[in-house]
Amino acid sequence: MRAIVVRQPGGPEAMELAEVPDPQPREGDLLVRVRAAGVNRADLLQRLGRYSPPPGDPDTIGLEIAGEVEHPAGRWKRGDRVMALLGGGGYAEKARVPATQAMPIPARLSFEEAAAVPEAYLTAFLNLFTLGALAPGHAVVVHAAASGVGTAALQLCRGIARVILATASASKHEACRALGATHVLAREEVPSRLPQAVKEAAGGRGADLIFDLVGGAYLEANLAALGLHGRLCCISTMGGTKGTLDINTLMRQRLTVLGSTLRARSAEQKAKLVADFTANALPRLESGELRPVLAKTYPLTQAGRAHEDLQAGAVVGKIVLIP
């Protein structure tokens, strides 16, 4: 089969299309003919040699795919349309998928749209609901809200949270509002204005939950913007790995700071997350209430261009590769 390989870590030009052996399914694995593969910022880090796959997973880049089952396992049959979370191996014509990490593709979604679901929506669901305990009436902040994960988070919050404050480049504010944001703030204003903006939006209260896809640069503002018993969920270091933590604020407001990654979780943990999402959020995709935001598609041969676009932050939503 054809797959993207990285022989030496480097820039987008380090990726090349090559012939590699087909993946061999293990017990409980599907073999899926990949029709589309999502592109994530974790892929950029792996290309640079900074984010190795978990032990036992392929070195090939790619954390989410959509396609058709060729080798069945579990409840899946040959020919079933599935979208799946991977530890690696998505930038290829075929992928090995643990059967418990696959989900049925809603009939209304194309393969390209479906490939934009697993990593983005499962990450948002994990942090908003499983870890963040999002509940009706909450005030929520979503940073980098125009990203793939951010656009998923806005939609998951819609209809549940009372206040959804999205931070993003000003040019992307209209898109954020269309996806469910009730309030917006320019990303460059976050360090200086976030606490004030949250209180204005939430009627004088702080945020119940902040979903942070940026990192250290926002830490002080995040803590100052949280209300009593507020929770900060951190999943990225785009804005640096270090920040100042005000312990007095942490104690006085009885705050919780959570760090989370999805890729490093055990197979059992991923299986439970997929099952929870399938039961609680997949029906919202099936009804059309949730819809993956597909920004651009590229053929697999142009994976480098896809990485350049994602790195530049030039899109709203997800970029998807077509093998």
Q: What is the pLDDT of residues 235-264, one digit of tens each?
A: 988 888 898 889 999 999 999 999 999 998
What is the per-residue pLDDT for 237?
A: 84
What is the per-residue pLDDT for 272?
A: 97
What is the per-residue pLDDT for 90?
A: 98
Report helix angle 118-125 to 267-280, nearest 10.
Answer: 90
Structural contact between residues 100 and 126, judged by C-beta atoms closer than 8 angstroms: no
Which residue(s) pair with 71 in the sheet? 31
d(CA 80, CA 88): 21
- As a whole-number percent, the residues of the chain with pLDDT over 90 amount to 93
pLDDT (mean) for 197-221: 96
The vertex-106 CA angle with 125 and 140, nearest 5°, equals 25
For the entire predicted model, the pTM comes to 0.95
Least confident interval from 90-104, 137-151, 257-271: 257-271
Q: Which helix (H) or strand (E) holds 211?
A: strand 207-212
Q: Which helix (H) or strand (E) holds 210?
A: strand 207-212
What is the per-residue pLDDT for 234?
A: 96
Mean pLDDT of the chain: 96
Strands 81-85 and 64-71: antiparallel
Residue 110's alpha-carbon distances to 3, 25, 107, 151, 300, in angstroms, are 22, 25, 8, 18, 17
Residue 130's alpha-carbon distances to 41, 125, 286, in angstroms, are 22, 7, 21
pLDDT (mean) for 121-131: 97
Q: 16-61: per-residue pLDDT in tens?
A: 999 999 999 999 999 999 999 999 999 999 999 999 998 889 999 9
Structural contact between residues 165 and 140, judged by C-beta atoms closer than 8 angstroms: yes
Name which of 306, 309, 290 is nearest 90 in CA terms: 306
What is the per-residue pLDDT for 142?
A: 98
Which residue(s) pair with 319 in the sheet? 39, 296
pLDDT above 90: residue 77 = yes
